[in-house]
């Protein structure tokens, strides 16, 4: 995995990320989503794309919980969760 330095503090972020988009919480079950995230992390990814509106918030909560209650958190680096916020209805 290749990494980039982000911002003035030089956080090391993987060039590839795994996005939850509409799949986590609606199109695939939690076990499959967990396997996808763990496989991405084992390949070196530490950047997970997400938003509060993906699967009506289910994807956001799932990714957050997996980042902090799994081998992803206890491993060598801090996971980063990119997030988009929706404004409107």
* Domains held by the chain: number: 1
Asked whether residue 12 is domain-assigned, the answer is no
Asked whether residue 64 is domain-assigned, the answer is yes
Residues whose CB is less than 8 angstroms from the CB of residue 47 and which lie 6 or more positions away in sequence, other chains included:
13, 14, 16, 17, 18, 79, 80, 82
pLDDT of residue 80: 61
Asked whether residue 60 is domain-assigned, the answer is yes
Domain that holds residue 76: 17-84
Asked whether residue 10 is domain-assigned, the answer is no
Residue 86 has pLDDT above 90, yes or no: no
- Specify the pTM: 0.71
pLDDT of residue 2: 93
User: Using one digit for the tens of pLDDT, what is the confidence trace for 9-65?
Assistant: 888 888 888 887 767 777 888 888 888 888 988 898 888 887 777 777 788 888 777
Asked whether residue 65 is domain-assigned, the answer is yes
The residue ranges of DSSP E strands in 30-88, in sequence order, are: 47-51, 80-84
Residue with more model confidence, 22 or 66: 66
pLDDT of residue 77: 57
Asked whether residue 36 is domain-assigned, the answer is yes
- The catalytic residue positions are 54
């Amino acid at each position: 995995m290749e990494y980039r330095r982000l911002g003035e503090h030089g956080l090391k972020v993987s060039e590839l990320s795994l996005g939850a988009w509409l799949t986590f919480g609606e199109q695939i079950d939690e076990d499959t989503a967990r396997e996808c995230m763990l496989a991405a992390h084992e390949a070196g990814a530490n950047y997970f794309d997400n938003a509060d509106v993906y699967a009506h918030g289910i994807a956001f909560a799932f990714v957050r919980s997996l980042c902090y209650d799994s081998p992803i958190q206890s491993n060598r680096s801090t996971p980063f969760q990119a997030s988009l916020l929706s404004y409107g209805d």
